[in-house]
Amino acid sequence: MNEQSNFDTQVLVNSNVNISDAKLWQFFRLKIGKQMFISKQYTREVLTISNCVGYEENGGEISFGFVERFLKICYLDCCANVCTCEEIPYAIVNTCKLAYPFDVSLDETIDIFVHKEKLPFIGKCETSTECKAVSTAKLLYVCSVVQVKSDTFIVRPVNLLDTE
């Protein structure tokens, strides 16, 4: 086992994924419905999409992170050449925390209404080194990433119905 597969094994174990008697297959992009998810290791120049995703936690809340790679778990009793395992692949996600720094003040009528709203779809990203295994069934959408000097902002899709 090389360093990366040791790392992935540890991430899966920490995320309570059963990998006993299993072999890991890695791959670098995944199409779910009409949406293409790519990983950091997908090196072809498809730079119109990022590897930043929003995903659903087990409790239902939405978290964000960067997909390092996808892993399919193949159990050892599966025949070798054509995998018959039905398991849903996992994404190894480098998680990040978001802060929402933007307030928008709309002066609808001068001095009478100052309507304050957050912009909940732009978050400032605090990167971490923490990785977790996320079932790809929990991936929700691909986010845009905007780099401003040393700050990274994650912009989640505003109109989820218009992804064509």
Kindly state the tokens that stand for 87: 């398991």
What is the spatial distance between Cα 81 and Cα 31, in angstroms, rounded to a whole number?
Answer: 22
Interacting residues toward Zn ion by CB under 5 A: 74, 78, 83, 85
Residue closer to Zn ion (CB basis): 17 or 78:
78
Smallest separation (angstroms) from Zn ion to the CB of 8: 17
Kindly state the tokens that stand for 48: 């119109």
Residue closer to Zn ion (CB basis): 25 or 113:
25
Smallest separation (angstroms) from Zn ion to the CB of 1: 18
Residue closer to Zn ion (CB basis): 8 or 131:
8
Instruction: Tell me which residue has its CB nearest to Zn ion.
Output: 78
Smallest separation (angstroms) from Zn ion to the CB of 83: 3
E strand or H helix at 147: strand 144-148
Three-class DSSP labels, 81-120:
CCCCCCCCCEEEEEEEEEECCCEEEEEEECCCEEEEEECC
Smallest separation (angstroms) from Zn ion to the CB of 132: 23
CA 113: distance to chain centroid? 39
Residue closer to Zn ion (CB basis): 27 or 100:
27
